[in-house]
Amino acid sequence: MRHFYNLVKKEVKELLTREVIVSMVFMLVFFVFMGRIIKGAEEEAKEINISILDLDRTPYLQNILNIVSKQGIEINSIEAEDIENAIKEAKEKNATVLLVIPPGFGVKIQEMEKAELEMYSIMKGLSIKETISSEIIKSIIGALNKSIATSFIQKAVPDKDPEDILSPIHTKDFVVIKERTIPGTPGVLFALITSQSIMIPLILVMVIMYTGMMVMTSMGSEKESKTLETLLSLPIGRGHIIAGKMAGSAIIGFMMTIVYMGGVRYYMSPMMGAPEISIHLKDLGLSMTSLGYLLLGTSLFLAILAALSGCIILGVFAQDTKSAQTMSYPIMLLAFIPFFLSMFKDIETLPLSLKIIVYAIPFSHPMIASKSLIFHDYSTVLWGIGYMAIFIAITMWIGVRIFNTDKVLTARFAIRRKKIGR
């Protein structure tokens, strides 16, 4: 254990270079900076100022004002003779939208004819913020339409609920999935499950990327700094060397993932508001149990170990840190395949040949588990855990075997032999 701790300490010190620390700090600062810009832009977008030019002197103006004031939007009336002057005045008042009520608007509404409102969006630039105000106005117009239609219906058929006339057909939706019938639409169910399980594949891909890169860098650095021969000649078991490298790299990899995910979370928080879905998976009997969480944790842990043990084997063939990082791409690619597939497809529904490939990739299993456990499908998860355990045992055995042979050094010999013979 003392040897293992000594190796882990060395790995952490060697991998946590000034450059790595600077890049982590930079990453964090970058995401916080970008997050603040987006947050600021969104808050600016909320500050909508509407100018209204009422050329009709319509009684419906009050209706409009009532709806707008409910949205907490600043509104001001403009007295101008024509549109050109109204736009000029609206600009002076820093308005984002000029709403013009043309003459005859009120009469047309009263006579149940189609009436027109003119909407001038005053754009100061080409940012996304400029488009938000016109969208809000459109929703206000929608509310106004409904309000006017409702008042007409109430007058014409006072004993009926206007809502029943406006939307006479109601649907009651059910989804049949995995031997269960659940109230709701596929869209809502998909959104709910995705919101619960989307982070698992993302975190796993990031951890595999960073820890894999770290363990490969560690192997490449041993060769580049010419420290590997000394390390291998010390009285330490080969298993300890491999385990020490994996643990040290995992610590730095996890640190980088935490910084990255923390940064991304902050950056994405303005865009990722709470989903407007009133039901929860728990209400549908689809929540993860404590056993589920335990299995998911085990599955994630084993997937990371599988990535590290695979990287150790690849790292043996690296010549230096640069080639080591390039050689980590196949592992990352293997993590990206199930990640993207799980975003757009249910792995269970893939054609058999593709399904076999995905199941053969150990990193697929936590991604499958994150969804299967919601449906309390434990057997799929347990098979995945068993497969990953076998995969790790085999790759670790291969790793120790390689470390016990010439191969751990001969990759370099193959190049040098031509230069110096022996």
Partner 1 sequence: MENAIEVKDLEKYYGTLKAINGVSFNVNEGEIFGLIGPNGAGKTTILRIISTLLQITSGSIKVFKHDVTKEAPYIRKLISYLPEEAGAYKNLSGKGYLEFIAGFYSDNEEMVNKGVEIAQLGERITDKVSSYSKGMTRRLLVARALMVAPRLAILDEPTVGLDVINSQEIRRIIKDFVKKGTTVLLSSHNMLEVEFLCDRIALLNEGVIIERGTPQELKEKYKAKNVEEVFIEAVK
Beta carbon nearer to partner 1, 114 or 226: 226
Pairing of strands 97-101, 74-77: unpaired
**Residue 338 contacts by C-beta under 8 Å, 6 or more apart in sequence?**
201, 347, 358, 361, 363, 364, 367, 368
Nearest approach, Cβ of 251 to partner 1 (angstroms)? 15
Nearest CB to partner 1, comparing residues 85 and 227: 227
Kindly give the residue spans of alpha helices, DSSP state H, lying in 271-320.
Answer: 290-316
Note the residues at the interface with partner 1 (CB under 8 A): 2-3, 6, 9-10, 13-14, 16-17, 225-227, 229-230, 232-237, 404-406, 409-410, 413, 417, 420-422
Q: How far is the CB of 4 from partner 1 (least distance, A)?
A: 11
Report whether 174 contacts 180 (CB < 8 A).
no
Q: Which is nearer to partner 1, 71 or 410 (CB)?
A: 410
Element (H, E) at 186: helix 186-197
Q: Which is nearer to partner 1, 94 or 227 (CB)?
A: 227
Of 196, 193, 201, 205, the C-alpha closest to 366 is 201
Smallest gap from Cβ 2 to partner 1, in A, equals 7
**Tokens for 266?**
């902050």
Here the tokens at position 138 are 């459109």
Q: Does residue 15 contact residue 249 with C-beta atoms inside 8 Å?
A: yes
Structure-block tokens of residue 51? 């100018």
Q: CB within 8 A of 289, min separation 6: which ones?
A: 373, 376
The CB-of-218 to partner 1 minimum distance in angstroms stands at 11
264 by Cβ neighbours in 10 Å (0-12 / 13-18 / 19+) ranks as middle
Q: Whose Cβ is closer to partner 1: residue 17's or residue 131's?
A: 17
Q: Which is nearer to partner 1, 195 or 410 (CB)?
A: 410
**Cβ closer to partner 1: 9 or 265?**
9
What φ, ψ does residue 28 adopt, rounded to 5°?
A: -65, -45
Q: How far is the CB of 13 from partner 1 (least distance, A)?
A: 6
Least Å distance, CB 413 to partner 1, is: 6
Minimum CB distance to partner 1 smaller for 357 or for 411 = 411
Minimum CB separation of residue 320 from partner 1 in Å reads: 12
Kindly list the distances between the CA atom of residue 119 and the CA atoms of 71, 182, 214, 293, in Å, as whole numbers in the listed order: 18, 44, 57, 53
Provide, rounded to whole angstroms, the least separation between the CB of residue 20 and partner 1. 10
